[in-house]
Structure 1
Amino acid sequence: MTELQPRGTYIFWSYVPSLGAAVIFLLLFIILTGLHTWKLFTTRTWFCISFTLGGLFEVIGYIGRAAAHSNTTTMGPYIVSNMFILLGPTLFAASIYMTLSRIIRSVHGEHLSVIRISRLTKTFVWGDILSFIVQGNSSSLSVLGYPLYGKICVLVGLAIQLLSFAIFWLTAVVFGKRIRRAPTRESLNRDLPWQQSLQMLYVVSSLVLVRSVFRIVEYVLGDEGYPLRHEWMMYVFDGVPMVVVMLVFYLWYPSRLRGYLDLDTSVPLTATTGYNGV
């Protein structure tokens, strides 16, 4: 039976990572990433490439977690597991952000967006990149012997991600309310699944928000906190939500929006109303 052992004075894990759980989630993410890769290339929805890469990050992360079961004193599996599972959702976020801008453009609802459409994707994606870079540096700082600075980097990166997603979620909700009150001609097209795509964004954004809050709580409480000492919490508040995010995004894949982005802009029904309300 595998036992938890320290490496010198430093303990990488507060428990022996479950091999069974790691393998189950590894298989789930392999299947889902395979499906997303197939969907990406068959539909040529290239703005979703970062989402597929996020799935690949999850696969690599759980490979590291499975390897850590019998290597609790080895640094490699620990770093791979923590870094790739931590960064996977950041790549999901980039495609989620870009989906909203395509929904808005497909229904010609630019005038109803809280953030100017030309800045919408850039604003959130740059925030996502910043979060990715800050969190990515955490592992190198920890390896170089600065665990406190590594922890601060993770918390700052997660805080940026949480703030970006909260603002994004509000932006999507406000847009949804506005276009239902003042629909454009394009939004009345029953062949355009913009409402389905918008509801999909609500679901996946909420799940990523829950996961980000959990991760912040986990790192704030530290090594002696309940989350880092009990493995089930990581699976319930990170593993399961990310599996559901990949599944929901796949089932309501935003590929059908592509065909409506090159249409000529028609005059919206609200053009003469001067609509400005929420």
Structure 2
Amino acid sequence: MAQLQPYKGGYYLWKYVPSVEAAAIFCVLFLFATAAHSWRVWKTRTWFCIPFAIGGYFEVIGYATRAAAHDRTGKLMPYAIQNQQILLAPALFAASIYMTLSRTIRSVNGERYSIVRADWLTRIFVLGDVLSFVVQGSAVGLMVTGGNNAVAGQWIVVTGLLIQMIMFALFGLTALLFHVRMRRDPMGLRSQRQTTAAVNWERSLHMLYGVSVLVMVRSVFRVIEFILGPDGYPLTHEWTLYVFDSVPMLVVMIIFWQWFPSPRPSRGWEEVCEPLRRLSGQRLESK
């Protein structure tokens, strides 16, 4: 049976022995979700969603390493890798989420209804996301050293997460104001009905609201986790990570895949079932 092992000088990287079963389950789930996203990005040539798929690979690596750390709680690298990958993945999700809004606005010729110019919208929010990513990533090395450096690293991560939360709040406000102004203008509604690429513009906005709320909830949890510190309840009880981080991020991937911001309408689960139906049809014809 695996036991908690100290790293150096009696310093414990983990406050519990990580569950190999839970980590393996989420590793497999994220692997399937990431493979589905990668296939759809390639099929639709929706290259701005590549960061989203990379974020999925971050999750896969993070949970695979977490499972491997079950018997290596005294080793630095497994702890650092899983911590970094799981912590930074949502920042990559956010990059594609931000870019989806500007493309949705352009698809309905709705630039005049946005409080931020469409070409600047992506730059502002993606730059904020990159800043959040860099700030959080720079703290990973400090967090595993213990002592004052670990405390400093935790507060740097909190700063990066707060940047992410602020950007998401501003992003949500921008999307909501665009939505309201578009709906209030009859001319805008008539023009968007004539745009074939904009058939599902409101559905795309609803999708963005949903994933943004989930990322925000996860970020709030992470801020609380790091403020309470290594002896706080979240970092000493593993279930909190899975409930407030793993599950929300998996749901984000599922929602984004189901209502994928493709140039053509997405049929969601029908695209998965279609090859199976064709294969069944071919077998019946052969008989």
- TM-score with structure 2 length normalisation? 0.87
In the alignment, which residue of structure 2 is the partner of 1:48? 49
5+ residue gaps, structure 2, are: 266-287
Q: CA deviation at 1:143?
A: 4.6
Task: Determine which structure has greater relative contact order: mean sequence separation of CA pairs < 8 Å that are 6+ residues apart, divided by chain length.
Answer: 1
Matched, 1:210 2:217: yes
User: CA 1:143–1:226 in structure 2 vs 1: closer, same or farther (change >3 Å)?
Assistant: closer
User: CA 1:144–1:17 in structure 2 vs 1: closer, same or farther (change >3 Å)?
Assistant: closer
Tell me if structure 2 keeps the 8 A contact 1:102–1:257.
Answer: no
In 2, the alpha carbon distance for the partners of 1:16 and 1:114 equals 49
Secondary structure in 1 matching 2:227: helix
| Deviation larger for 215-224 or 143-152 | 143-152
Q: 1:188 aligns with which of 190, 193, 196?
A: 193
Work out the percentage of aligned pairs sharing the same amino acid: 55
Q: CA deviation at 1:122?
A: 0.5
In the alignment, which residue of structure 2 is the partner of 1:57? 58
Q: 2:170 aligns with which of 167, 172, 185?
A: 167
C-alpha offsets along residues 142-179 of structure 1, whole Å, 9 cap, x if unaligned? 35662122112201110100100011011111111111
| Deviation larger for 152-161 or 111-120 | 111-120
Tell me if structure 2 keeps the 8 A contact 1:51–1:94.
Answer: yes
In the alignment, which residue of structure 2 is the partner of 1:221? 228
Counterpart AA for 2:4: L
In 2, the alpha carbon distance for the partners of 1:186 and 1:211 equals 37
Matched, 1:152 2:159: no
Counterpart AA for 2:228: L
Q: CA deviation at 1:195?
A: 1.0
Counterpart AA for 2:257: Y
Q: CA deviation at 1:255?
A: 0.6
User: What is the alpha-carbon root mean square deviation over aligned residues?
Assistant: 1.5
Q: CA deviation at 1:141?
A: 2.5
Counterpart AA for 1:86: L
In 2, the alpha carbon distance for the partners of 1:42 and 1:208 equals 26
C-alpha offsets along residues 125-146 of structure 1, whole Å, 9 cap, x if unaligned? 0000000101011112235662
5+ residue gaps, structure 1, are: 259-278
| Deviation larger for 74-83 or 5-14 | 5-14
In the alignment, which residue of structure 2 is the partner of 1:15? 16
- Alignment of structure 1 residues 1-278 onto 2, 5 Å: 1-7=1-7, 8-143=9-144, 146-183=149-186, 184=188, 185-189=190-194, 191=196, 192-256=199-263
Secondary structure in 1 matching 2:96: helix
- The count of residues paired between Structure 1 and Structure 2 equals 258
C-alpha offsets along residues 83-142 of structure 1, whole Å, 9 cap, x if unaligned? 000000000000000000000010011111122222111110000000010101111223
Tell me if structure 2 keeps the 8 A contact 1:2–1:70.
Answer: yes
Secondary structure in 2 matching 1:69: helix
Q: If each structure's helix is expressed as a fraction of its own residues, which one has the higher value?
A: 2
